[in-house]
């Protein structure tokens, strides 16, 4: 086996650093469903928020009001139970 210094020099990566890519984003996008005042996927209108805003997920898999579920088949290898909660983004 070669000495440590030799194997280190033979590797492809030598610490090269790339400059950050500058991206300019618009302050407002009329087609963005998360922008203030725009319509959401479910038809609601976003408030005209000026700072961080927490959204309730339009298509949550888990909901605060969930329909009661009862397993109809007796399958000992799989147990299905109801879950409730909120999903925000």
Distance CA 39, CA 47 (A): 10
Task: Express each pLDDT in 36-83 by its tens digit.
Answer: 999 998 888 999 999 998 887 777 777 777 777 776 766 667 777 767
Cβ 33 vs Cβ 55: under 8 Å: no
| Parent domain of 50 | 21-54
pLDDT of residue 61: 74
85 located within any domain: no
Please indicate, yes or no, if residue 66 is contained in any of the structural domains.
Answer: no
What's the rounded Cα separation, in Å, for the pair 58 and 45? 12
- pTM, two decimals, is 0.49
pLDDT digits (tens, 9 = 90+) for 10-19: 666 667 788 8
Residue 6 lies in a domain: no
Structural domain total, the chain: 1
| DSSP annotation of 59 | T
Q: Which residues pair with 2 in a beta bridge?
A: none
In a domain, 68, yes or no: no
């Amino acid at each position: 086996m070669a000495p440590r210094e030799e194997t280190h020099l033979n590797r492809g990566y030598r610490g090269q650093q790339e400059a950050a890519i500058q991206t300019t984003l618009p302050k407002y996008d009329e087609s963005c469903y998360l922008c203030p005042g725009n319509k959401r996927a479910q038809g609601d209108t976003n408030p005209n928020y000026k700072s961080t805003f927490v959204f309730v997920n339009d298509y949550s898999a888990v909901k605060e009001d969930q329909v009661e579920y009862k397993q109809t088949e007796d399958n000992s290898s799989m147990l299905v139970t109801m879950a409730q909660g909120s999903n925000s983004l």
